[in-house]
Amino acid sequence: MDAIRIVGGAVLNGEIPISGAKNAALPLMIASLLTDEALILDNLPRLRDVQQLQQILSNHGVSYMIEGKRPGQDTMAGQTVHLQAEEIIDTCAPYDLVSKMRASFWVIGPLLARMGHCSVSLPGGCAIGTRPVDFFIDGLAALGAKIEIENGYVVADAPDGLAGGEYTFPRISVGATHTLMMAATLAKGTTTLKQAAKEPEVVDLAECLIAMGAKISGAGTDTITIEGVEKLHGARHSVLPDRIETGTYAMAVAMTGGDVLLTGARADLLQSALDVLTQTGTTVEVNDKGIRIARNSAALKAVSVATDPFPGFPTDLQAQFMALMTMAEGTSTITETIFENRFMHVQELARLGAKISLDGQKAYVTGVDTLKGAQVMATDLRASVSLVIAGLVAEGETKVNRVYHLDRGFERLEDKLAACGATIERISA
């Protein structure tokens, strides 16, 4: 199993290209199930989760073609992929595929809407909380589906097609919003989703579905209205830049010092996180190429945050920010409000010398003068990269084990950091 070796102490300078967003790419790929015509996605990131979803979609009959490289193309640029579900050959999403990645459960919406029946295994993914599928099931039932749980599978039927309805999410769920919005595009009549997720990735999916012929309004607000259509067609859509990757590299630069331009990044996708970063004493400047992050020798200031659905501080940046605060002056309080089990990185940061105490969903981080390299273990995707950030400043050598988590969500992480001066390399098992 691969590991990443880091020797701390290098300052980061240069440019880091921001890849297409994983959290947008996955539902966009799944949307290909809604039409028999080709969906072309530009700026699709090269990630393990994308490859895994490709296998799952292929199981349903989706053909998948990657455009070859073009002369002069940036080696860090996203890929262009053609997906076409001309015929759905299997409406069962099996356990051995779905259990490896939670987002693959979202196929339940398009399969049910297009075929009137599907059987989808209950999901897997990072162990950062229970994240039940109740909202998916209740929402599809509100659209007229009959649903049973049988032998670990969600079996859904709507032989006469889905019908428009109204559903209010008990709490905000990005995945359930994606799924119900896709399902409602082919339902008869009008669907209203209340207390819907407002994340940029939801808006990106809505824009793609509209390009495919869907009638959707309100994406980006807490009420989304979908007027069902009989059929969707093919389209071409570019995946928006990854706001979590943007925030991660911004925090890495803030941690190490230096001056880095995050090319292709969009500030509007993570303004709350950038505002917090500014409060730490880091310079954040937006220009026509992206976002410039810089910090000179000035000390980091402790800042307290609480995670919140968009437009609040993202839960997917909580671990990275905690790593940053381990070297800040003073004590910061980090409150996790989204997932109940997302502090697994704390004990690993402590192995590097971090001073962190936990009280329920609150972490109290008191900055230290130095971190020291050690062997650490990645526990989930975002926790993994927090250890890399800490390792960039830790004295001596840090070895991050089980980095397959990183490959799920960060494209060529070590190459991008090394290009800016970090001493970092992948060690193959």
Q: What's the CATH number for 26-238?
A: 3.65.10.10
**102 is an annotated ligand-binding site residue:** yes
Query: Range(s) for CATH 3.65.10.10 in the chain?
Result: 3-17+241-427, 26-238
**Are the CB atoms for 255 and 323 separated by under 8 Å?**
yes
Instruction: Identify the pLDDT of residue 129.
Output: 40
Instruction: Identify the pLDDT of residue 339.
Output: 76
**338 is an annotated ligand-binding site residue:** yes
Residue showing tokens 């207390």:
195
Instruction: Identify the pLDDT of residue 298.
Output: 87
Q: Which residues of the chain have pLDDT under 50?
A: 125-131
Token pair belonging to 3: 């590991």
**316 is an annotated ligand-binding site residue:** yes
DSSP category for residue 342:
-
pTM over 0.85: yes
3-state secondary structure of 314: coil
Q: Determine the angle formed by the axes of helices 243-256 and 381-391, rounding to 10 degrees.
A: 20
Instruction: Identify the pLDDT of residue 125.
Output: 44
**Are the CB atoms for 63 and 54 separated by under 8 Å?**
no
Instruction: Identify the pLDDT of residue 126.
Output: 39
Instruction: Identify the pLDDT of residue 127.
Output: 40
Task: Write out the catalytic residue numbers.
Answer: 126
Distance CA 271, CA 277 (A): 10
3-state secondary structure of 380: coil
Instruction: Identify the pLDDT of residue 200.
Output: 98
**Are the CB atoms for 97 and 170 separated by under 8 Å?**
no
Instruction: Identify the pLDDT of residue 130.
Output: 44
Written out in words, the top-level CATH class of the domain with range 3-17+241-427 is alpha beta
